[in-house]
Amino acid sequence: MKQSVLILTQLEQLKALSDPLRVKILHLLIEKSYSGQQLSRLLDVPRPKIHYHLKDLEKNNLIYLVSESKKRNMTEKLYKAVARSFIPAKDLLPYQTTQSESGRIMTLTALDRTKERAMEAPDDAFITDSEDPKDWDKIASQLEVQTTEEKFRHWVTKYQKLLEELQEMTDKGKDSKWYYVSTFGFQMKDPFFKSNEDEDDKHD
């Protein structure tokens, strides 16, 4: 991977990330290098279709060719994503519909990958030996809050610093374990969790 974040500066890049299959391919290539044939098997999609999308992703500088080798009569090309995250530049703000669709698809695909990781996690990943959440070595929470955009952005900045701190805690010792953190937070239209006050209002 060449960089951690790529700023999208071209509308065509944003359009490329508005296709669900293309985004699935990109998410896999964020994690490791794959060939078209490997992606075809993983996604259960015909190879010609995979190669079509790989060409488009490469053309828009979202993935790059890692290596190329000959296997019998075939050439195997391994691709990798150029970054771990993709963020639209301010210049793309006029294209809000495309940016919204792209962001939604990227989020939904990341949620799918989170679900897959949860299914593949070891059994003891979900076992707690304490009733106090402060003692847990897992996170599972949902929260809805009504606040200003400015305050929410301020909180996100502090949370990003916490994630950086977590990355700096890397320990490859014999007692270390792998942990997966997946975070989503976004504006919503209406709350799903009804407060006691809301329920009381209904009965008045």
- Mean pLDDT, consecutive 10-residue stretches, the chain (204 aa), reads 87 95 96 96 96 96 93 86 94 93 94 94 89 85 93 96 94 93 93 69 55
What's the pLDDT score for residue 136?
86
What's the pLDDT score for residue 103?
94
Give the start-end residues of each E strand in the chain: 3-8, 34-35, 63-71, 74-81, 83-88
Give the start-end residues of each E strand in 48-126: 63-71, 74-81, 83-88
Q: Which domains does the chain have, with CATH numbers?
A: 3-121 (1.10.10.10)
Q: What is Dmax (Cα atoms) for the chain?
A: 76
Contact 63, 82 (CB under 8 A): yes
Residue in this structure with the two tokens 């305050």, named with its chain if needed: 151
Taking each helix axis from N to C terminus, what angle separates 20-31 and 36-43, rounded to the nearest 10 degrees?
A: 120
From 31, 50, 192, select the one nearest 114 (Cα to Cα): 31
Alpha-carbon span 77 to 57, nearest angstrom: 14
What's the pLDDT score for residue 204?
55
pTM score of the predicted model: 0.82
